[in-house]
Amino acid sequence: MTDRITATYDIESPVGVQQAAEVLAGEQSTGTFVRLAAETDELRDRSAARIEGCVVTGESPAPSLPCRIKGDRYERGQVTISWPIATMGPSLPNILATVAGNLFELAELSAIRLLDLHLPREVIDANPGPRFGIAGTRDLMGVPEGPMFGSIIKPSVGLSATETAILVRDLAEAGIDFIKDDELQSSGPACPLEDRAKEVMAVLNAHADRTGKKVMYAFNITGEIDEMSRRLDLLEKLGATCAMVSLQSLGLVGLRALRERSPLPVHGHRNGWGLLSRSPHIGISFPAMQKLWRLAGADHLHVNGIGNKFTESDETVAEAARAVQARISDEGPAFTALPVFSSGQTAWQVAPSAEAVGNEDFLFCAGGGIMSHPDGPAAGIRSLRQAAEAYRLGCTAESHATENPELSSALTAFKRK
């Protein structure tokens, strides 16, 4: 269906899956709670949403979510709905309003979760996608192969610009590839972005002049559109190589505006994602949402981490990481992005992360896993590289650790997850 957008949902309903699908399709296209005189058969044929598939998968005696309509049973199933691209065009915010708009509030639904999206070539061609992606990020970092290793400024907030630069100097000298601001740190009065950027880039530029390696630092520029534009100008002037934003705060329109303006890779942090994803009964799956973020221009996307400190299972994390590297569509540009593993990561999770995506094209961020290594940050970074080496050699981290003391110390110091 080259002229239609398709969305697949998991739904539950007191009126039955088929009837609920019909209500959903009507509400999100030409219909409302009563039949309108203007909603002619010709108009419906041209513009209405269409049910492409409907499968009942089970039922429950009680609703999964509060539901105004009461039923004797609540039928569960998967439905696939399609819309003609002509009704909303290739506009990402309007596509999102169509496939994830008022449908979450429908009385005929006691659960609904958007599972996946299929987007036609017209949508792919009309949106910019990542400017740098995996290959461009590798070039800027100077890491032609293997996982890219990074860290996060901790404490998340509280450090001054000078204190941040001192920590950055220590991490750069330890051999890090990438450092990022925490999402809580943008440009508060205690640590203004302008001051932080000037001090951090003075450290990183001096390090690059001395060693030939320029560590990538993702400065959190999240703010109003004009603020972000000014911050990009500053970063470009200082020689920075990455800009970070909070995706949920910006929205698709803000992200697209940033992509069009930014000469730097866009590091997309998904903080707040649990609001959309934690419940199995309502929300949006990451494989669906990340397609829109990539189309809008995100070069890097956080996917949580294996053995993370949050609630997502390893299977969910692996699915998210693979989705970021997969083609958005069978046609047009692939628009692949760089998956970013983070959240309580240590040497134990390097090989499982590579196994999750089936390659080493990922950014692996560790805070305590680097800075709390018993022998210091440099040993922490070496332990991660040694864990990656073990994966490439096809041996376990434990066996490889017998000849690599940094890895051995990391495996002992950090709990296996």
Q: At 253, list the tokens.
A: 């329109």
Q: What CA–CA distances, in Å, run from 55 to 9, 20, 386?
A: 11, 12, 48
Tens of pLDDT along the chain (417 residues)?
A: 689 999 999 999 999 999 999 999 999 988 765 667 777 888 878 889 999 999 999 999 999 999 999 999 999 999 999 999 999 999 999 999 999 999 999 999 999 999 999 999 999 999 999 999 999 999 999 999 999 999 999 999 999 999 999 999 999 999 999 999 999 999 999 999 999 999 999 999 999 999 999 999 999 999 999 999 999 999 999 999 999 999 999 999 999 999 999 999 999 999 999 999 999 999 999 999 999 999 999 999 999 999 999 999 999 999 999 999 999 998 889 999 999 999 999 999 999 999 999 999 999 999 999 999 999 999 999 999 999 999 999 999 999 999 999 999 999 999 887
Q: How many CA atoms lie within 13 A of 27 on its CB side?
A: 19
Of residues 217, 291, 195, 300, the one with CA closest to residue 258: 300
Distance of alpha carbon 415 from alpha carbon 417, whole angstroms:
6
With beta carbons less than 8 A apart as the criterion, state whether 112 and 9 touch. yes
With beta carbons less than 8 A apart as the criterion, state whether 287 and 277 touch. no
With beta carbons less than 8 A apart as the criterion, state whether 168 and 200 touch. yes
The helix/strand/coil state of 338 is strand
Edge to edge, the sheet with strand 50-60 lists 50-60, 74-84, 4-13, 111-118, 282-284
How long, in residues, is the chain?
417
With beta carbons less than 8 A apart as the criterion, state whether 93 and 29 touch. no
Phi, psi of 10 (to 5 degrees): -100, 125
Q: How many CA atoms lie within 13 A of 129 on its CB side?
A: 20
The helix/strand/coil state of 203 is helix
Q: What CA–CA distances, in Å, run from 412 to 308, 358, 360, 371?
A: 18, 27, 24, 15
Using alpha carbons only, give the angle 402, 408, 413 rounded to the nearest 5 degrees. 155
Strands (E), 14-110: 50-60, 74-84
Using alpha carbons only, give the angle 197, 164, 227 rounded to the nearest 5 degrees. 35
The helix/strand/coil state of 231 is helix
Instruction: Write the secondary structure of 136-177 as one string of H (helix), E (strand) and C (coil).
Output: HHHHHHCCCCCCEEEEECCCCCCCCHHHHHHHHHHHHHHCCC
The helix/strand/coil state of 217 is strand
Q: What does the DSSP 8-state code read for residue 376?
A: -
With beta carbons less than 8 A apart as the criterion, state whether 96 and 276 touch. no
With beta carbons less than 8 A apart as the criterion, state whether 199 and 161 touch. yes
The helix/strand/coil state of 180 is strand
pTM: 0.96
With beta carbons less than 8 A apart as the criterion, state whether 242 and 130 touch. no
Phi, psi of 372 (to 5 degrees): -100, 10
Q: What does the DSSP 8-state code read for residue 196?
A: H
Tally Cβ neighbours within 10 Å of residue 142. 15
Distance of alpha carbon 27 from alpha carbon 333, whole angstroms:
33
